[in-house]
Amino acid sequence: MYRVRFRDPAGSVRQGEWVENEITFADRRYDPEEVDVLAPCEPTKIVCIGRNYAAHAEERDEELPDRPLLFLKPPNAVAGHGDSITLPEDRYVEHEAELGVVIGEQCRNVSEPEAEEVIAGYTCFNDLSNRDDQDEEQNWIRGKAFDNAAPMGPVLATPDEVPDDAGIRLRVNGETRQDSTLDHLIFSIPELIAEITSYMTLEPGDVIATGTPEGVGPLEDGDRVEVEIEGVGRLEHAVQQP
């Protein structure tokens, strides 16, 4: 099943189901091109994972972590499918395609065997990264938490839709830059949930961004970005420089 949040032509926010090329809600059908597709959830926080693909750590010339490397993005970073995102002025910003895990219930101290029980579904995620400031600070606020630095969507795919070795790809202006599979994750999704919830409570709608594969690269004014994950769909957004 593919769930979708959208704003209908009357301006009301709805939660429907994306079936083939239509969105359905309350016996009504909508063309996805004629409604405003919103981010699939409203997180209180986004917990991101750094260096969770070995090849990405290598391209950044960084060591592999011995435990999940965690950092946060706040709600102001959320953006949706079809949005045009204004990047920080005079900064070098890169794309990072990732699988987003959306939490379905309040949870704390979740064991690895219980992890699947707290997952509502999966979505496409782009961890936009301002490298100029990220490389100069420890907490990565300027580098990772700027407005709309977390595009996600277009849907929330239930776990049964997404294979363990699903392909993950990113294209900029039609050119493929990232192409990998989820089975290359260093720390698995159950390991991530167990580690994160040993430190903090996750709320319904919170997102875990599971890390990006190799192939990250720069974004420029007018670029169009696609993040595609097998079993989830394709997130599309544009970027612009002020």
- CATH number for 30: 2.30.30
Q: Are residues 52 and 155 in the same domain?
A: yes
Residue 175: what pLDDT?
98
Residue 65: what pLDDT?
96
Q: Are residues 20 and 86 in the same domain?
A: no
Residue 75: what pLDDT?
98
Q: How far apart are CA 84 and CA 219, in angstroms?
A: 13
The Cα angle at residue 109 between residues 108 and 113, in degrees rounded to 5: 115
Q: Are residues 20 and 137 in the same domain?
A: no
Q: Which amino acid is present at 22? A: E
- The CATH number of whichever domain residue 178 belongs to comes to 3.90.850.10
Q: Are residues 117 and 166 in the same domain?
A: yes
pTM: predicted TM-score of the whole model, two decimal places: 0.98
Q: How far apart are CA 103 and CA 200, in angstroms?
A: 13
Q: Which residues of the chain have pLDDT under 70?
A: none
Q: How far apart are CA 83 and CA 36, in angstroms?
A: 9
Q: How far apart are CA 85 and CA 153, in angstroms?
A: 14
Burial of 11 (0-12, 13-18, 19+ CB in 10 A): exposed
- The distance from CA 22 to its chain's CA centroid, rounded to whole angstroms, is 23
The Cβ-side half-sphere exposure at 57, using a 13 Å CA radius, reads: 17
Domain extent for 59: 39-240
Residue 89: what pLDDT?
97
Q: Are strands 233-240 and 84-86 parallel, antiparallel or unpaired?
A: parallel
Residue 131: what pLDDT?
98
Residue 151: what pLDDT?
98
Q: How far apart are CA 204 and CA 227, in angstroms?
A: 24
Q: Are residues 50 and 165 in the same domain?
A: yes
Q: Are residues 15 and 64 in the same domain?
A: no
Residue 166 · residue 232 · CB < 8 Å: yes
Q: Are residues 159 and 195 in the same domain?
A: yes
Q: Are residues 14 and 66 in the same domain?
A: no
Q: Are residues 109 and 223 in the same domain?
A: yes
Question: What are the two backbone dihedrals, phi and then psi, of residue 192, each rounded to the nearest 5 degrees?
Answer: -65, -45
Q: Are residues 53 and 31 in the same domain?
A: no
Q: Are residues 92 and 106 in the same domain?
A: yes
Q: Are residues 6 and 58 in the same domain?
A: no
Q: Please tell me the total count of domains within the chain.
A: 2
- The distance from CA 198 to its chain's CA centroid, rounded to whole angstroms, is 22
Residue 226: what pLDDT?
98
Residue 186: what pLDDT?
98
